[in-house]
Structure 1
């Protein structure tokens, strides 16, 4: 009977669809495990394919390729520790989310995911068949149970594994970030430990995939819920965990206890990592953005500089006659503070040409939102031209408040390939700027210190599309707007709930109206970093045409 078991935990960043690259990462981690004389290497859920694959995993050729890569990995890594790796499995006509156990040159066992998440960003009921609840697998006489991700959020799978002889639980995850999710993970895993009396290893991947960021934070709990190991969030890392048999059963030896950053730091890190991986995994090395002198474009410029280095960020000021001197000065100050390239491209001549072209059609009709939007669309056109010419991805800079109520111009300032602040309400943009000015970390590639001047943060927000324009001319104050949106969007509350909280009914109904009629804009908007459980895209799927309005309390 063995008294020690060494498990190498690989908290790595796979790329969706890069089967060869992901297999190479697995092989490199296996070599580290072999050098450390580990008994087994553990990788995360669906590691060979990357995660979240969405409908890509429904393509049979892709699944067969992934399965072949796993079999090749087993053969190539026969002489050394076992490997546990996530990937798809076809059995007959059924497709499963599986956890493969590779030993002695072959697939020694498979665990099939039982509970398939079908909420927020997950559609696994659509993609996979439900696997049976089975017992543990054995590695060198040690019996290990592996509830796959969602399986560990329910008591039945872990209890069955304990009842059928599992000596500890290894949980492979593809669990994406949202604000304060770590507390929820920890609470569920402590429950499994208390219910089973077994040590539990919660192994999570890292890295960005489209809107989602997997934040790692792998941890190990001993019976009773005591934290034995806490790996860092967001960083790739490999840890060698030793489990020992005691008279009371298996226990994990104490290891690294990495600190967990504040929610402000984790949100900011999430936006940086999302952009860094979105660019890196899609092949872009540089970005550009319209830098208006306002707070939203300033924080996006800072995120971009921190993600890929200021030398790879082009900031473009595109002024019109409504652009204030303050904005001109502030935009240049932000670019200079960050160390980014700065271009000055006035839109006046282009705007005059468009005005003259449309004059015979528009006749004596008064200036209105049409002419305002022409300015925004000219900026979008010019920025896209620069993106094409220089091979730099255009970033768009609308915050969640604007995205929610449609306070943005489609085919104008909404142009772009990615939006790092798409899930960040305006009131949080202000605080995020203050946080970044006061904090610098090793993972930031931008400079230390105040990179967003205080007057950019403090001045009244304005689109500057007409004389003396302010956002509050068209919208409620952001502290009011954001709380109403939190209720209607994030909490799915009713109009009456918002009124009961103290908001004016007419204001709430207006915000609700703007929210619903802006769905078509969001449908065409760039993807952006997911920070909450109700981000605009996969988390919240509303019809574009929708005539229902909430009449509660009327």
Structure 2
């Protein structure tokens, strides 16, 4: 009977649709596990395809490519530890979110997701029992399966000795505490040790924040990987008189709430640039906290050499840090005659000519209460921040520097203070949008009734505003607006 088991965890950042690149990353992780004497190497949910590739999963040609890459991976990993990773799995007309165990040169075992997340494009599979690797019976609730009790309990009742939960969970405020609470509940219910393995990296609105962890029976934390950073960790399980236990590992410091939001925006911008084939960004130098914070985010994400800034002073002449051809294009152009949409088009032309991604910072307060945006191929890193939150993060960045920041350590962002009216507007918007509250709730909270009614009316006329604006990292959960409740 097995008394020790070494598991290598790959908390990593796949790219949607890049089967070859993701398979190469899986092979590299498997080789690290093999060299460390692991019996199994585990990667997160939907790792081979990247998460949220719904437009690809139902494409027959893509499905065939997925199977080809899985078989090639299995052959490469024939001599050494088992490799477990997430990928779509097709049976007849059904497409499942699956966790596949590659061993002995083949796809040896598979687990299908049973509990689907809202708006999932997969089919629900039956509850899968545990699979065996080197004598250890492992249960793997996939993603949303780990948030409910039935899958984990069924796997425990059918012989699982340990739970490994692969996930692709994005950063949202309060999400880490919710995850930990759900996983502790699974441990208490099953009396089994558990490892929660999350993905890293950004894709448009989603930023997967890693922070994988391990829990022993009773809910005691045994391991904590860093938030937002890629990590490969070797974890030892040992069987004693009281059953399996996870040997104590390292505990990476976890960022506080402001740093989590800021880091999510940095990673979101960094990966959007990289995964869309760009290397640089262009941002207009303008007054205001939005531009200041977005510039700091860009510098920290990409480094000063990859951030191009263009200044349009009040006198109306364009001065740019771009190359001469761009400066010539902008020279002598008066901005007074330009509508905002034409000004945006001019910036987009400048960015396209430089081969850079255009950054158009606009906070959630302005986006909600102002005119509808003009769709462009740009990116808005402060999209999910109210104006008061932008101001607070400007102050935070001025006081903070971390090793992962590529911008200047002595940041000195110019911060414009908000008026009481602006602060009240944010308070009303939080109640109406974030808390799904009503005008009466705003009045009960001390806000002026007429102002709350005017804000509510403005929101009600623009329910699809968020979908039309430029993509940017999401920091808060999407809620049904009160007028649709």
TM-score normalised by length of structure 2:
0.94
Classify the secondary structure of the residue corresponding to 2:173.
Answer: coil
Partner of 2:21: 21
After TM superposition, give the deviation of residue 60 of structure 1 in Å: 2.0
Say whether 1:223 aligns with 2:217. yes
Counterpart CA distance in 2 for 1:494 and 1:72 is: 56
Alignment match, 1:439: 400
2: CA distance, partners of 1:167 / 1:131: 22
Distance 2:26 2:159 in 1: 28
Question: Is 2:100 the counterpart of 1:67?
Answer: no
Equivalenced residue count is 481
CA pair 523-164 structure 1, distance change in 2 beyond 3 A: closer
Q: Shift in Å at residue 521 of structure 1?
A: 4.6
Question: Match of 2:21, SS?
Answer: helix
CA contact (8 A) 2:391 2:417 kept: no
C-alpha separation between the residues in 1 aligned to 2:295 and 2:2? 55
Match of 2:367 in 1: 403
1:261, distance to aligned residue in structure 2 (A):
0.8
| Structure 2 partner of 1:50 | 50
Per-residue CA distance 1:369-426 (angstroms, 9 max, x = gap): xxxxx44234212211211211111111100111122x25633xx7551100000111
Taking structure 1 as the reference length, the TM-score comes to 0.83
Conserved 8 A contact 1:320-1:346 = no
Shift in Å, 1:70 = 1.1
1:284 to 261, 278, 285: 278
Name the structure 1 match of 2:451.
507
Map residues 76-115 of structure 1 onto 2, 5 A cutoff: 76-115=76-115
Which structure 2 residues correspond to residues 386-465 of structure 1 after superposition, within 5 A?
A: 386-405=350-369, 407-408=370-371, 410-411=373-374, 417-452=378-413, 456-459=414-417
Contact kept, 8 Å, 1:88 with 1:97, in 2: the verdict is yes
- Aligned partners of 1:164, 1:232: CA distance in 2, in Å? 33
SS in 1 for 2:405: coil
Flag the 1:32–1:349 CA change in 2: closer, same or farther, 3 A: closer
CA distance in 2, matches of 1:496, 1:63: 52
Partner residue of 1:469?
A: none
Q: Secondary structure at the match of 2:406?
A: coil
- 1:294 aligns to 2:288 (yes or no): yes
Matched with 1:7 is 7
Equivalent residue for 1:248, pick from 242, 249, 262: 242
Distance 1:345 1:260, change over 3 A: farther
The Cα of 1:185 is off from its aligned counterpart by 0.4
**Partner in structure 2 of residue 525 of structure 1:** 469
Q: Write the deviation string for residues 8-44 of structure 1: whole angstroms up to 9, x where unpaired.
A: 0110100000000000000000000000010000011
* CA distance in 2 between partners of 1:280 and 1:309 (Å): 13
CA distance in 2, matches of 1:41, 1:381: 49
Partner residue in 1 for 2:259: 265
Deviations 1:150-176 (A, max 9, x none): 111111111111111100100000111
Segments of structure 2 that go 5 or more residues without pairing to the other structure are: none
Distance 1:67 1:296 in 2: 45
Does residue 380 of the first structure (1) align with residue 338 of the second (2)? no
Contact 2:195/2:215, CA 8 A, preserved across alignment: yes
Shift of 1:58: 2.0
Q: Distance in 1 between matches of 2:279 and 2:182?
A: 39
When Rg is computed on C-alpha atoms for both structures, the one with the higher figure is 1
Describe the SS at the equivalent of 2:44: coil
Q: Tell me how far 1:479 sits from its aligned partner.
A: 1.5
54-63 or 251-260, which deviates more: 54-63
The alignment yields a C-alpha RMSD, in angstroms, of 2.4
Aligned-residue offset at 1:481: 1.1
In the aligned structure 2, how far is the partner of 1:132 from the partner of 1:378?
Answer: 54
CA distance in 2 between counterparts of 1:234 and 1:349 reads: 42
Whether 2:188 is the aligned partner of 1:194: answer yes
Residues 344 and 259 of structure 1, relative CA distance in 2, 3 Å threshold: farther
